[in-house]
Structure 1
Amino acid sequence: MSEHSSTLQPPHVSAGELAQVAGGAHWAPHSILGAHPVEGGVGYRVLKPFATEVTVLTEDGGRVPLRHEQDGIWAGVAAGGRNGDYRVEVAYGDGVAHVLDDPYRFLPTLGEVDLHLIGEGRHEQLWDVLGAHVKRWPGVLGDVEGTAFAVWAPNARAVRVVGDHNHWDGRQHSMRSLGSSGVWELFVPGVTAGSRYKFEIQGPDGHWNQKADPMAQATEVPPSTASVVTETAYEWADDSWMTKRAQSDPHSGPVSVYEVHLGSWRQGLGYRELATELVDYVRETGFTHVELLPVMEHPFGGSWGYQVTSYFAPTSRFGSPDEFRHLVDALHEAGIGVILDWVPAHFPKDSFALARFDGTPLYEHPDPRRGEQMDWGTYVFDFGRSEVRNFLVASALYWLEEFHIDGLRVDAVASMLYLDYSREEGQWAPNQYGGRENLEAIGLLQETNATAYKRYPGIMMIAEESTAFPGVTGPTSGGGLGFGLKWNMGWMHDTLDYVSKEPVYRQYHHGELTFSLVYAFSENFCLPISHDEVVHGKGSLLRKMPGDRWQQLANVRAYLAFMWSHPGKQLLFMGSELGMEAEWSESRSLDWWLLDTPWHKGLHDLVAELNAVYKQRPELWEDDFSPSGFEWIDGGDNGRNLLSFVRRDASGKPLLVVVNFSPTAYEDFRVGVPTPGAWREVLNTDEERFAGSGVTNPQTLVSEAREWNGREHSVGLRVPPLGATWLVLDNS
């Protein structure tokens, strides 16, 4: 049994260094606090500033009373003792003996391999070692539960953990520096899931700043800004979905995306309620995927999630991380994929978050010509710094790994690719070759995409990219960016401009409908009618259309049928399927009452029918990205505002599309067909059940040997006003 010795002394420490430790400002507190071998025994130093008496309880049953040394630091030696498990018994004058674990008796929770990978910028599961992690350690005196904290802050003079566990006074919980890695670490016994915390960082200038954890996996509900210790207990039920996903290629499958802002789809719903109501609605309307505007935590709801402060935490506005897992699981159970918006292009300047994290430009590029995005009032990541690149790559992988996400849509890619993006002469600095390309950002995107596709087969990486940058969906092995899909912003702008014209003027703008086919197969495209097109004075999709209400709705129906049949995948922002008249606002729910109006219910039902037929017809998606999947019948009938074309599946089977953007119905319209035989209508946007005028076609239309549109056979059909019809061979 160890015995207290009044003659043996703990290792000598200067008064100045003891003062630093007591103030929580020492870079290596474990070298002074805790248990340390001395000649003839074990020396102990414990920081308990408000104690009246402190005793060490050793694993062999010994009691080692400590004396007050300086500034709340207590010290003593156990003669003949060994450096094993121990506890600290503390009296505060309240008549209670408080038995506590000492945070300074534990080894680092990061190993040498972890630190090496962090330094190299190659730790693909960075979230497993940085941040806050509940740990349980066995011990002779009993098991210990607590939280291991670790943070990257290479320019800090000192770092300490503050939170509920220490009444937001971090002087008793200063962290140790793990050398050149720039990582600081501390295991704090007794801190468990649900505890709020921040890191208090002393910068090079000596000032202390409280910062949220960059790797936090949960947060307080905004506007509060603390990080929250969390521990998942979720048991996934989507094994069959994940197995099937890994064996398939979504890029050659049907992809019809419903874009959703969770806070305003139906206000007041949390993740759990959405797992019922949103899932039922998306299943009813037939979309293959939902795409969620960023769920990563963000302080300002009006940013719609595009100003992220926590890249590893789903927003707490709607529930816990496990409740978000439940939402994803429920969507998978319903056969619906989940895509998340991800924002690596920039981050906000909020003082509690990533900005000037350790008192210096750390996550942001130090040169304002590269490190600030003036348009958005944000900082730009230092894409060339290995640890920052690692942080971003790990963030992308985190959502795919921990939340079973099926794809990431990367926001504002154009702003990353070009150093002169939205900058005047003299406001940007060229790359090392004198060019305008941001080579480091390009490298980041390539690494993220290549790593994501390697680790998670069956997912999609999607670029919101609005320029003609070559090879966005080209393989990284050939110098491409490695995305699977790219938003076709050109198609979106051209076609919306076209349909906003009165039909009598559309003939002069016909090229805006057809130009996309000039470049349709240069990338793997997704056609987006996104949230950006129904805000800031742009008007809803319905309000872009000319004419009275019937004509507006008919225009929308025809436009969506054209979109669903055009080469490429498609995305529609929530509310467009209702024929919303008002612009979208994040501050209110969609106008669900419109479904009580037959005309608007008809549009909703048409979207469901588009999705149903689309999924049944591989002609519309199996060969989306090559010219063999598309053939014009007549793309030049501008005088009648008409288009006709064929879509084909991988075997060459055709589907005929005729779209009429004129209010005139054509009762005996002849169109050349690629194959003779009986054709049947599988979709007509003018059906009365969609609130159309009923200009539809009989069950079968038999082709005749009459040359038309340069083809030997043709068929006569009815073409609806402001409508579209899809036809397939009767035996298919």
Structure 2
Amino acid sequence: MKKDGSGLTVLDPWLEPFKDDLKKRYAYYTQWKNRLQKFPGGMDAFTKGYEYYGFNVADDNTITYREWAPNAVTASLVGDFNEWDVEKHTMTRNEYGVFELILPPLHGQPAITHNSKVKITMTLPNGERIYRLPAWSRRVTQDLSVSPTYESVFWNPDQVYRLKHTRPPRPASLRIYEAHVGISTPEPRVGTYTEFTKNVLPRIAALGYNAIQLMAVMEHAYYASFGYQVTSFFAPSSRYGTPEELKELVDTAHSMGLVVLLDVVHSHACKNVDDGLNMFDGSDHCYFHEGAKGRHDLWDSRLFNYGNFEVLRFLLSNLRYWVEVYGFDGFRFDGVTSMLYVHHGIGYGFSGDYHEYFGSNVDDESVMYLQLANDFLHEQYPSMITVAEDVSGMPGSCRPVREGGLGFDYRLAMAVPDTWIKLLKEVKDDDWKMGHLVHILTNRRHLENTIAYCESHDQALVGDKTLAFWLMDKEMYTNMSDLTPLTPIIDRGLALHKMIRLLTHGLGGEGYLNFEGNEFGHPEWLDFPRDGNGSSFHYARRQWNVLDDHLLRYKYLNEWDKAMQLTEETYGWLHSAQGYVSRKHEGDKVIVFERGGVLFVFNFHPTESYVDYRIGTDIAGKYKMVLNTDDRAFLGHGRVDASGEYFTTTGDWDGRAHWLQVYLPSRSAFILAPV
């Protein structure tokens, strides 16, 4: 493999015309990596900025507080501990704009009381005095009875939660359960870390998922932003409880064999001044680019200056902090498309033309940051998992940095859920194109891993509908009881819900993701309390009660999801080579493919069932059925004998060396495995 960053051209010859761009990109990354490695203590010390900045308490209870604020002339630490007197605890400034204060212990105890309010106050060149929350705050809280603005508190509890359980090994097949702690209670309020640990983690583990992706953990002032307007990057959201309770959540997940990914937002930051990073030192350009370059027009937020030494220290240390202090096992990077391109993807339709991924379109500093982050994380933590939320499909996103890639492990297959929604909204069942489905599900870059999903939190939000809602709509309110007849709409909805999930799971990627509640066909969309809905929590919750009510039909979809995850655990198709599709018959509406040593068979035809339907396979011998959407356990019609045996006959069929015959009922799918 080439060592100049153009190794991607070996894997993808279409990149050959862009090898100079790849070399230039890699050289810029190398330049910055070498610079950071020359930092005293090297990359290890550089990425532990949280042990230098912010509040740190020594063994003798001496408190050291540091902050980077180059535009400030003076700075003081104020709070409950000194009656907010700006003269009592002034800070010293070094040549780099770093302010420092050392507080010796009082009577052997820290000079600042645990959980008491603190702020940094600074004077500017024009004489103005400003007050800010410490940028590296580990705990910020909100008292809505006083003000919606967050306050920083000094977090130094007597009882610090210590992580007890070892991290589970990195899963070979990544099956992610995407979750939001706040909505995870059936009651119309904000749920807690402790409730999630007790009530939701066991559900996730029982379903057979091996990874959790936690959303909206980094503190954000506006709950309805879904966590994507971060104000305090080192503070876990206090809405759900304390930092110690979050540690217990992660630790408990580990004890159940679940790795935990953090939904990290380094693509932008909330523009709040009073409780955010914006204009932290009174300037427009402390952590961000100044002017228009530092603002995201669509998101109304601020954009980081990734080419700044201290900004890199802040962001890289932030990643390490969540791993070291809270035990997270990886990250889903939000808004990667916005980071990669100077146009941020706004109004830009990516066609797949390679010119779109190079030249003046690309933000070189952002690319460098993502390469640094991925390279460091994987070098420091060999089992680390990183996932890119990128709609553009930049070549090399999920290839190692040494090849010229960005270094991610996976990229989200964002076209897949859009395809399913579009089909259900606009296309009659009779007109579904099997070839189009197969193309969307297999259209990914060779040797770059993809996370497939039918719907994530985006499709669950109000303004759209979940797949269950598109399929069954108002009948979910009247005909989901076992005590009512199985109507054609519910029958179709349940059948396609199962088939869509199995096809996406089996063919769509090297990992799979589900948003909480969607596995059982959650009956409501998701809408956070806001002015437009009277600040209601009615839709900002998960109705586990409909799943736990054994008279309702949601349980069948839940059991199907469990069976699907556990079957994948047995056969491991996600970490196998991409499936070989031997049949995509438009007239029959049949798809057949082999992956992971098993045979997937789908009949999407609304009415036609097929007797002695011939399908090809490359593995000779006897087969048994290991998963079937039409099984009565999943509210199927039981049209296929689950104990049946299938024997191959040698002879070419659909380009395979052997064939066998099956009964293939309408709107059903099953998996056959060699005995």
TM norm. shorter chain > 0.5: yes
Determine which of 542, 549, 568 is the counterpart of 2:510: 568
Report the 3-state secondary structure (helix = DSSP H, G, I; strand = E; otherwise coil) of the residue aligned with 1:276.
helix
Report the 3-state secondary structure (helix = DSSP H, G, I; strand = E; otherwise coil) of the residue aligned with 2:360.
coil
Residue ranges of structure 2 left out of the alignment (5+ in a row): 1-35, 106-110, 349-355, 473-487, 529-536
Report the 3-state secondary structure (helix = DSSP H, G, I; strand = E; otherwise coil) of the residue aligned with 1:399.
helix
1:147-186 equivalence runs, <5 A: 147-186=63-102
* 1:550-602 superposed Cα distances (whole Å, 9 cap, x missing partner): 21121111011112212320101111112123212243321223222442110
1:717 aligns with 2:642: no
One-letter amino acid matched to 1:236: L
| TM superposition shift of 1:132 | 1.1
Cα distance change of structure 1 residues 424 and 698 upon mapping to structure 2, 3 Å threshold: closer
CA distance in 2, matches of 1:117, 1:220: 35
Partner of 2:233: 311
Partner of 1:603: 557
1:543 aligns with 2:461: no
* 1:488-518 superposed Cα distances (whole Å, 9 cap, x missing partner): 1123323442354555443447414423324
CA distance in 2, matches of 1:494, 1:363: 42
1:211 aligns with 2:158: no
| TM superposition shift of 1:277 | 0.9
Point out the structure with max Rg over C-alpha.
1
Residue ranges of structure 1 left out of the alignment (5+ in a row): 1-112, 138-144, 426-430, 649-653
Partner of 1:552: 493
* Greater RCO (CA < 8 Å, at least 6 residues apart): 2
Cα distance change of structure 1 residues 657 and 206 upon mapping to structure 2, 3 Å threshold: same
User: Is the contact between residue 179 and residue 215 of structure 2 (CA under 8 Å) also seen in structure 1?
Assistant: yes
CA distance in 2, matches of 1:706, 1:630: 21
Partner of 2:283: 360
Report the 3-state secondary structure (helix = DSSP H, G, I; strand = E; otherwise coil) of the residue aligned with 2:554.
helix
1:469 aligns with 2:433: no
* 1:297-354 superposed Cα distances (whole Å, 9 cap, x missing partner): 1111111111111111111112111111000010000111111100001111111220
Q: Pairwise CA RMSD of aligned residues?
A: 2.6
1:237 aligns with 2:164: yes
Determine which of 519, 530, 534 is the counterpart of 2:456: 530
| TM superposition shift of 1:658 | 0.9
One-letter amino acid matched to 1:480: G
Partner of 1:419: 342
Partner of 1:481: 406
Partner of 1:582: 524
CA distance in 2, matches of 1:194, 1:317: 15
User: Is the contact between residue 605 and residue 667 of structure 2 (CA under 8 Å) also seen in structure 1?
Assistant: yes
One-letter amino acid matched to 1:631: Y
User: Is the contact between residue 66 and residue 98 of structure 2 (CA under 8 Å) also seen in structure 1?
Assistant: no
1:213-612 equivalence runs, <5 A: 213-221=134-142, 223-231=148-156, 233-239=160-166, 242=167, 245=169, 249-250=170-171, 253-266=172-185, 267-352=189-274, 353-422=276-345, 435-508=360-433, 510-519=435-444, 521=446, 523-528=448-453, 529-545=455-471, 548-566=489-507, 567-586=509-528, 587=537, 588-595=540-547, 596=549, 597-612=551-566
User: Is the contact between residue 89 and residue 101 of structure 2 (CA under 8 Å) also seen in structure 1?
Assistant: no
Q: Which has a greater percent of strand? A: 1
Determine which of 610, 619, 622 is the counterpart of 2:575: 622
One-letter amino acid matched to 2:173: P
Higher deviation after alignment, 229-238 or 470-479: 229-238
CA distance in 1, matches of 2:69, 2:400: 35
Identical pairs, percent: 26
Partner of 2:647: 702
| TM superposition shift of 1:399 | 0.7
Report the 3-state secondary structure (helix = DSSP H, G, I; strand = E; otherwise coil) of the residue aligned with 2:366.
helix
1:644 aligns with 2:571: no
Higher deviation after alignment, 450-459 or 511-520: 511-520
Report the 3-state secondary structure (helix = DSSP H, G, I; strand = E; otherwise coil) of the residue aligned with 1:201.
strand
* 1:527-550 superposed Cα distances (whole Å, 9 cap, x missing partner): 132101121422112123377122
One-letter amino acid matched to 1:381: F
* 1:147-205 superposed Cα distances (whole Å, 9 cap, x missing partner): 32111111101111111112223221111112335333342642132222111122222
One-letter amino acid matched to 2:215: L
User: Is the contact between residue 681 and residue 726 of structure 1 (CA under 8 Å) also seen in structure 2?
Assistant: yes
Cα distance change of structure 1 residues 303 and 646 upon mapping to structure 2, 3 Å threshold: same
CA distance in 2, matches of 1:424, 1:685: 40
Report the 3-state secondary structure (helix = DSSP H, G, I; strand = E; otherwise coil) of the residue aligned with 2:390.
coil
| TM superposition shift of 1:442 | 0.5
User: Is the contact between residue 340 and residue 363 of structure 2 (CA under 8 Å) also seen in structure 1?
Assistant: yes
1:613 aligns with 2:613: no
| TM superposition shift of 1:281 | 1.0
CA distance in 2, matches of 1:684, 1:646: 16
Report the 3-state secondary structure (helix = DSSP H, G, I; strand = E; otherwise coil) of the residue aligned with 2:656.
coil
| TM superposition shift of 1:381 | 0.6
Report the 3-state secondary structure (helix = DSSP H, G, I; strand = E; otherwise coil) of the residue aligned with 1:611.
helix
Cα distance change of structure 1 residues 369 and 479 upon mapping to structure 2, 3 Å threshold: farther
TM-score by length of 1: 0.76
CA distance in 1, matches of 2:640, 2:628: 7
CA distance in 2, matches of 1:120, 1:262: 33
